[in-house]
Structure 1
Amino acid sequence: MALTATGIGSGLDISSIVGVLVDAEKTPKEARFTETETKIDAKVSAIGTLKSALSTFQDAAEKLQSGEFLNIRTVSTGNSDFFTATADQYSQPGSYSIVVEQLAQSQKLAGATVSDATAGVGEGSLDFSVNGESFSVAITDTDNLAAIASKINNASDNSGVSATVIKSDAGSRLVFTSTETGTDNEITVTATDTTGTGLSDMFSGTNLESLQEAQNSIIYVDGQKLTSQGNTIDDAITGVELTLTDADVGETSTLTIAQDTESVKTNIESFVSSYNSLITKMGTLSSFDVEEDTAAALQGDSMIRSLESQLRKMVSERVSVDGVESALYELGISTDRDGKLSIDDDKLNDSITNNMSLVEGVFATSDTGLAYKFGDLVESYTKSGGAIDSRNNTYTSEKSRITDQREAFTLKMEQLEARLLKQFNAMDLIVSELNSQGSSLTSSLASLPGVISS
């Protein structure tokens, strides 16, 4: 008969003994699993930190890929009420006198006035032509002014007419407004009746009143007259966009465009700062603390070493600017003994003030400029499927493999525990049987003649 409790026959705590034996084999292995998982998690976190630092550096580098952030201009209009202005990198520093004689405006035409705006107008069609493009709207005898306006505004081929119903003391009328300013965008309306004369009576001949004539804007730049269809003018001064807000031919405003050296310097300083932060971060992630005898998560990592090597090589590369080889140090940016960049303020200020073409060429020359090269390098690491993604996939596979190994080891330990319990219980049963036999023999010997019990 099998024992229902362990240790009864031998008096041993079999469960505790088996537990100690299993733990002796399980604990070191599980500790190694945990240690390996912790290291992988630390590497994943470190890779995330590296990617973040790379992205910050990439943003700073991309700003220097365009003259928009290098060849920056400041614009002053002297608080003019007549226009606002913006200037891009192609504008030349200087001052210009601006006079706004006339603002551009849209044409407005109004149909005849009716006392009942809800009544149908007529049956037929209204044909519109604006700047050489035409469209037509079919009108039914039940269409009132609001329905006609809706058909015009929602026409898929509407070429530039906005319709609305205006109510006054005299009644209601339909007003057509060109959606664009200037004389090129004058509206032509043709009413065609299929029944009666309702549409013609409202929208033809003298029944179509001009509420506002189309007109072009007129400005003078340094005394030179320029007429334009709109109030936004981008061809008066190279690289400058003027937005007209008011007109007075008797008032002269001054537009001043200057090189924004401070903003350019700030963008370059941001680039240098983010580069140095990246170098510092990589050093921290791959360091070894001799005193504590501890290694950082990516200590000895080949990817860190390769990236650092490429970055240091790139900062010393020369770029062809107008056929002349130039480099960062000519702008006042050099590398120190720690691999970080430092700025010679006087030299950088002189380059930005007196040789902006060199600054722009070193950083923003298409494809070969350093800002492009840095951006491409970082992109190769941070893009989907790039070096960092590949490394993370490796860590994920390692973590998954450890999970599988842990599960297999757990099953192995369960089997070991079951086997040991079976063996100890078998032993316990044998000891129990031996004890029983011993007791029986002792009893038999005690009952023999001549045996005196003590």
Structure 2
Amino acid sequence: MALTATGIGSGLDINTIVGVLVDAEKLPKEAVFDKTEKSIDAKVSAIGTLKSSLSTFQDALEKLKDGGSLNQRTVSTGESSYLTATADKTSQTGSYNIKVEQLAQQHKVAGINVADSSVPVGEGSLDLTVNGESFSVAVGATDSLEDIAESINSATDNVGVIATIITSDAGSRLVLSSTIEGTDSQIGVVANDTVGSGLDNMFGGANLSELQVAKNSIIHVDGQKLTSQTNEVKGAITGVTLNLTDADLNKTTLVKIDLDKDAVKDNVQGFVDAYNSLIDTIDKLSAYDVDKKEAAALQGDSMIRSIESQLRNMISSRVTVGSETVALYDIGIEADRYGKLSVDSDKLDTMIENNMSSIEGLFSTKDTGLASRLDTLVESYVKPITGLIDSRNNAYTNDIDRLDDQREAFTLRMEQLNARLMKQFNAMDLIVGKLNMQSSSIINGLNALPGVVRSQG
């Protein structure tokens, strides 16, 4: 391999000279690339922060979109052991005296006892009926009570029967229970023998014993009697569900229903706090620091300006509720000159006490309610893939890709420039070297001529 050295002919440091010339063109451009990349990264981070803040605000809106979450009820049953109660927004505040006369019961029937539950009992099928609906299970010649119970419980068309084997001093027997209470859910059994009479002998006619009579629940609400198929009683009081746990006609449970004012205030305050937090984020991401002369990542960005403008327009709008229009100001929520919201507790308390329907309507009216419209706005930005923020992120990704391509192309140009300059300087070095050699040869020749007197230095 041939060995080459630069600068021998001219005495110049060609590597340093070429490096300085290349850097003079490369470094300013790389600084531009770095600044552009840093700017894009900052915008990607900022847009992620914005999306997170919008999603948090959307979570607060979910509680207000549903009137049931906003207009909640508290239910008290004291220390009653006879029932528990829950109420939805359709219930009215008030007190009710309730007596539980009888709990609903499931129907239970059983076949005869056998000494060994693992011994086959017959061959054929059992047809079971509950509340007019039927299903059938096949019984094989080798099937025991355990097998029959498994077939009943695993039947895909089972209409509400649970099979259990109970073992006592008298032996083991198959017990069939309805899955729900009430007289409508009584169990019917028809034994069909294809060989012998084993199934009929166990489950047919008088061989099928009733262990528990099906019963409906009976309650008295302010002296009015109500019968229900189950121990979960709905409709006795509008919007209230009673779950019965014990019965004693001589005992009275006072059920008291009130508006959950604290829940209303918490949800309203939660909305205000989430909105203010979102505005804080928007302000921070779009701010300009005059002292430092630094702009935030999204300062002047059209999208963030649009979000802020739409939010402020919506919270200042009025919503039609019945025959009136209601705005946030009417329920005690005010905006200051910076766009931040605050709650006038006294005004909100008055509205909760006297006009709860207006609060609910303001936020929860379908489609036109404030929570619904704000949620639709936010969703247009945070929706995966098709949302405006993801679209913006895609644009940033494309910008990064283009920047990477530009860096790669520029690096190649700098490599080519370096090679070209090295070639040119080496060529110059070679020429200078040859000229130096020629100069030395001429001087040596002149010095060798006769009569030439060399100067004494």
Shared fold per TM-score greater than 0.5? yes
Give the secondary structure class of the aligned counterpart of 1:176.
strand
Partner Cα separation in structure 1 for residue 72 and residue 396 of structure 2 = 45
Q: Give CA-to-partner distance per residue, 1:423-451, whole Å, 9 cap, x none.
A: 11111111222222222222222222223
Partner Cα separation in structure 2 for residue 259 and residue 216 of structure 1 = 32
Q: Paired residue for 1:276? A: 276
Q: Give CA-to-partner distance per residue, 1:357-385, whole Å, 9 cap, x none.
A: 11111111111111111111111111131
Q: Paired residue for 2:449? A: 448
- Extract unaligned runs of 5+ from structure 1: none
Which structure 2 residues correspond to residues 171-190 of structure 1 after superposition, within 5 A?
Answer: 171-190=171-190
The one-letter code matched in structure 2 to 1:24 is: A
Does residue 153 in structure 1 map to residue 148 in structure 2? no
Which structure 2 residues correspond to residues 380-399 of structure 1 after superposition, within 5 A?
Answer: 380-384=380-384, 385-399=386-400
Q: Paired residue for 2:66? A: 66
Give the secondary structure class of the aligned counterpart of 1:254.
strand
Partner Cα separation in structure 2 for residue 304 and residue 118 of structure 1 = 74
Q: Give CA-to-partner distance per residue, 1:29-86, whole Å, 9 cap, x none.
A: 1111010111111111111111111111122122111211221111111021111111
Q: Paired residue for 1:45? A: 45
Q: Paired residue for 1:428? A: 429
Q: Paired residue for 1:261? A: 261
Give the secondary structure class of the aligned counterpart of 2:136.
strand
Q: Paired residue for 1:296? A: 296
Alpha-carbon shift at residue 339 of structure 1 (Å): 1.4
Does residue 76 in structure 1 map to residue 76 in structure 2? yes
Partner Cα separation in structure 1 for residue 157 and residue 347 of structure 2 = 60
Q: TM-score, normalised to structure 2's length?
A: 0.96
Partner Cα separation in structure 2 for residue 62 and residue 123 of structure 1 = 58
Give the secondary structure class of the aligned counterpart of 2:65.
coil
Q: Paired residue for 2:135? A: 135
Partner Cα separation in structure 2 for residue 286 and residue 134 of structure 1 = 68
Partner Cα separation in structure 2 for residue 191 and residue 2 of structure 1 = 106
The one-letter code matched in structure 1 to 2:431 is: I
Partner Cα separation in structure 1 for residue 446 and residue 265 of structure 2 = 110
Which structure 2 residues correspond to residues 204-219 of structure 1 after superposition, within 5 A?
Answer: 204-219=204-219
Partner Cα separation in structure 2 for residue 403 and residue 90 of structure 1 = 61
The one-letter code matched in structure 2 to 1:450 is: G
Alpha-carbon shift at residue 452 of structure 1 (Å): 4.2
The one-letter code matched in structure 2 to 1:11 is: G
Give the secondary structure class of the aligned counterpart of 2:165.
strand
Alpha-carbon shift at residue 418 of structure 1 (Å): 0.8
Q: Sequence identity, in percent?
A: 64
Give the secondary structure class of the aligned counterpart of 1:347.
helix
Alignment check: 8 A CA contact 1:191 1:204 kept = yes
Report the count of equivalent residues.
454
Alignment check: 8 A CA contact 1:2 1:429 kept = no
Partner Cα separation in structure 1 for residue 214 and residue 8 of structure 2 = 111
The one-letter code matched in structure 2 to 1:312 is: R
Q: Paired residue for 1:376? A: 376
Q: Paired residue for 1:405? A: 406
Q: TM-score, normalised to structure 1's length?
A: 0.97
Give the secondary structure class of the aligned counterpart of 2:241.
strand
Q: Paired residue for 2:203? A: 203
Which structure 2 residues correspond to residues 157-172 of structure 1 after superposition, within 5 A?
Answer: 157-172=157-172
Q: Paired residue for 2:92? A: 92
Alpha-carbon shift at residue 2 of structure 1 (Å): 7.6
Partner Cα separation in structure 1 for residue 165 and residue 253 of structure 2 = 40
Deviates more, 1:152-161 or 1:348-357: 152-161
Q: Paired residue for 2:419? A: 418
Partner Cα separation in structure 1 for residue 295 and residue 203 of structure 2 = 86
Partner Cα separation in structure 1 for residue 34 and residue 234 of structure 2 = 66
Alignment check: 8 A CA contact 1:96 1:255 kept = yes
Q: Paired residue for 2:349? A: 349
Give the secondary structure class of the aligned counterpart of 1:64.
helix
Partner Cα separation in structure 2 for residue 82 and residue 21 of structure 1 = 94
Deviates more, 1:438-447 or 1:204-213: 438-447
Partner Cα separation in structure 2 for residue 172 and residue 120 of structure 1 = 13
Q: Paired residue for 1:229? A: 229
Q: Paired residue for 2:339? A: 339
- Extract unaligned runs of 5+ from structure 2: none
Deviates more, 1:310-319 or 1:411-420: 310-319
Alpha-carbon shift at residue 188 of structure 1 (Å): 0.5
Which structure 2 residues correspond to residues 87-126 of structure 1 after superposition, within 5 A?
Answer: 87-126=87-126
